[in-house]
Amino acid sequence: MPRSTTITVKKIPAKNGGKYQVYLPATLTGGRRIRKFFPSRSDAEMFAIRARTEGWKAVLKIDDKKYPKNAGGNADADRAGDIGFAEGGESGGESGGERTSEVWGSWLAKHEGCADSTTRKFRYVGRRFLEKFGRRRLREINHRELEEWVLGLEVGPATKWDHFRIVRRFFAWSKDFLEVIDKNPFARIAAPAKKTDGALPAVLTVVQMREVLRAGLLLPGVDRRRWWSFVALGGFCGLRSAEIFFATWGDVGAAEVFVRQPKRVRGWMPRYVSLPPVGGEWLALARGGDVGTEDRVFPEGQPGIYRLRKMVTGALGWPRWPQNCLRHSYGTYYLAKNKDLATLRTEMGHESEGVTRAHYAVAARRVDAEAWWGLTPSSVLGAGEGELAGGVLAWGGLGDQGIGDQGIGGGGLGDQGGLFL
């Protein structure tokens, strides 16, 4: 197998200075491996992006006579002080204006303290953007080129919207804050559609929620319990996915659930939320007798829930899992039943009632809300409480119940049939 020629960014342990290292392997340089050290990840990422897009020799001040190809050896050239940034206009592009890769590096540094998911998304978008425009001067990029790039991305509609949104904010910041460009070219570009015509609704119907709960029977024993705990905390308590991943069984009380604040997430607050009877029954079924109070409710985190979602959506015939559907369904049916926006705002951890009203004041019938809060294990799985407690899940299947065209605003999942076991 050929050796890798990839430029990598790596965190150096604190005992060695706690810096970030950019590593250029010898298979790339043709003789010596090169390491560059930076105080922050954003500086290291900017350097690595420039090295990938502009060529490592254009970014580093390398003398070909001093470091000829195939010179051999593993000396650390950076420690000898022979390597540095090629500043100014030496590494490509016309004179006048800031290079796009350099401005993007400042943009990344601005978001250094954001949540990990945010910084990962910015780096992902940045790699694609700088592959196309990294060597260009920022003021030279016009709206036609940007529109062609956005529309030509071979990604889904939601990911394409993320690229448009993040790069548009980058250009707005460059214009209004840095003042390195006179106008934002994205002002002349129409936003791409966020969803396709066949997108699933964000709020599940009662029939769809019943299917989701029953689909847990397709999973192995431990996964089944994990799935029901995830669905119960999201659909009957309104917790976000990240909040579920941090929850322990000691946080689940008889009538309340303590919600911890996920690390490095700003704007979310620790709080207690009510645990309705239907949620308590599902959690009691999911918990079993072999877990302690310090054990995580869903220890596998994001990779685990992605795997289970894929299994369940495949069994149900859904194209994908509707984003935030459990939390959105909880907010919608809670408001339809109780008509109490202030309490819902507190339960969901929003900073203002305006946020709650904008996202969860969806038209829903009270009769549907009553049915939602009546989806107990005995009614959904078709077994008595004693059988459920003993782990005997007697279930007769869905019969002729499919996922039809029921739902809020007539939004269903099409004419898929029911799930048979």
For 197-230, what is each residue's pLDDT tens digit?
444 557 899 999 999 999 888 887 778 889 999 9
Q: In degrees rounded to 5, what are phi and psi of residue 351? A: -75, -25
Kindly give, in sequence order, each residue whose CB lies less than 8 Å from that of residue 16, ignoring residues fewer than 6 positions away.
none
For 308-367, what is each residue's pLDDT tens digit?
888 898 888 888 888 788 998 999 999 889 888 888 888 888 878 887 887 776 778 889
3-state helix, strand, coil in the chain (%, to 5): 50, 5, 45
**Where residue 421 falls among pLDDT bands split at 50, 70, 90?**
very low
> Cα separation of 148 and 71, whole Å?
43
CB-CB contact of 271 with 261 (8 Å): no
CB-CB contact of 297 with 244 (8 Å): yes
CB-CB contact of 138 with 103 (8 Å): yes
CB-CB contact of 161 with 194 (8 Å): yes
The mean pLDDT of the chain is: 74
Q: 346: how many CB neighbours lie within 10 A of its CB?
A: 16
Residue 263: the pLDDT is 59
Residue 211: the pLDDT is 92
All domains of the chain in start order, with CATH: 1-92 (no CATH), 93-197 (1.10.150.130), 206-410 (1.10.443.10)
**The tokens 């707005």 sit on which residue?**
172
Q: In degrees rounded to 5, what are phi and psi of residue 206? A: -65, -40
Kindly give, in sequence order, each residue whose CB lies less than 8 Å from that of residue 256, ignoring residues fewer than 6 positions away.
272, 273, 274, 275
* Helices of type H across 266-340: 277-287, 301-316, 325-338
For 239-256, what is each residue's pLDDT tens digit?
888 888 888 899 998 888
Residue 383: the pLDDT is 53
> Looking at the predicted structure, is the pLDDT value of residue 44 above 50?
yes
> Cα separation of 26 and 313, whole Å?
46
Q: What is the average per-residue pLDDT within 118-144? A: 88
For 78-112, what is each residue's pLDDT tens digit?
332 333 333 333 333 333 357 888 888 878 877 77
> Looking at the predicted structure, is the pLDDT value of residue 4 above 80?
no
Residue 88: the pLDDT is 35
Lowest average pLDDT, out of 23-32, 267-276, 347-356, goes to 23-32
CA 114 to chain centre: 13
Residue 367: the pLDDT is 92
> Cα separation of 231 and 225, whole Å?
10
Q: How many CA atoms lie within 13 A of 115 on its CB side?
A: 11
Structure tokens, 30: 């043709």
Please tell me whether the overall predicted TM-score, pTM, comes out greater than 0.95 for this model.
no
